Amino acid sequence: MLNRFLLLFALFVMPVATSAQGVVSSADSRATAAGQQILRDGGSAADAAMAMMLALTVVEPQSSGIGGGGFLIHHDAATGRTQTIDGREKAPAAATPERFLGADGKPRPFMQVVPGGLSVGVPGNIALMAQTHAKWGRLPWARLFDPAIKLAEDGFAVSKSTAGYLAMVAPTWKDFPESQAIYWRDGKPLAAGETVRNPALAATLRRIAAEGPDGFYKGPVADAIVNAVQGSKRNAADMTRADLAAYEAKERPPVCMAYRAYKVCGMGPPSSGATTVLGILGMLERFDMKAMGKDDPRAWHLIAEAMKLAYADRDTWVGDRDFVDVPVAGLIDKAYLAKRSAGISPARPLGRYEAGMPPGAAPRTAAMSGEVPSTTHFVAVDGRGNVASMTSTVEGIFGSQLVAGGFILNNELTDFSFAPEKDGAPVANRVEANKRPRSSMSPTIVYDASGKPVLALGSAGGPRIIMHVAKTLIGWIDFGLPVAEAIALPNIYFGGDATLVEKGTFLAAMQGEMTRYDGLVTASDLGSKVNAVEYVDGAWRGAADPRSEGNALAE
Please report which confidence band the pLDDT of residue 14 belongs to, taking 50, 70 and 90 as the band edges: very low
Could you tell me if residue 406 is inside a domain? Answer: yes
pLDDT at 501 over 60: yes
288 is in an annotated binding site: no
pLDDT at 443 over 90: yes
Domain total for the chain? 1
> Taking residues 171-195, what's their average pLDDT?
95
- At 15, which CATH number? 3.60.20.40
Q: What does the pLDDT read at residue 371?
A: 62
Could you tell me if residue 84 is inside a domain? Answer: yes
pLDDT at 420 over 50: yes
pLDDT exceeding 70 applies to what percent of the chain? Answer: 95
pLDDT at 9 over 80: no
Q: Is 96 a catalytic residue?
A: no
Could you tell me if residue 166 is inside a domain? Answer: no
370 is in an annotated binding site: no
Residue 126 domain boundaries: 1-155+197-555
Please report which confidence band the pLDDT of residue 128 belongs to, taking 50, 70 and 90 as the band edges: very high
Could you tell me if residue 19 is inside a domain? Answer: yes
Could you tell me if residue 447 is inside a domain? Answer: yes
Please report which confidence band the pLDDT of residue 366 belongs to, taking 50, 70 and 90 as the band edges: low
63 is in an annotated binding site: no
Please give the distance of CA 264 from its chain centroid, rounded to a whole number. 17
Q: What does the pLDDT read at residue 11?
A: 39
88 is in an annotated binding site: yes
Annotated active-site residue in 204, 276, 316, 375: 375
Could you tell me if residue 86 is inside a domain? Answer: yes
Query: What is the DSSP secondary-structure string of 131-181?
Result: HHHHHH--S-GGGGGHHHHHHHHH-EEPPHHHHHHHHHHGGGGGG-HHHHH
Rounded to two decimals, the pTM is 0.94
| CA–CA gap between residue 455 and residue 441 (Å, rounded) | 17
Please report which confidence band the pLDDT of residue 367 belongs to, taking 50, 70 and 90 as the band edges: low
**How many CA atoms does the CB half-sphere of 58 hold within 13 Å?**
33
Could you tell me if residue 162 is inside a domain? Answer: no
Q: Which amino acid is at 266?
A: G
What mean pLDDT is reported for the chain? 94
CA-based torsion, 401, 47, 267, 444: positive or negative: positive
Residue 42 backbone dihedrals phi, psi, to 5 degrees = 95, 10
Q: What does the pLDDT read at residue 464?
A: 96
462 is in an annotated binding site: yes
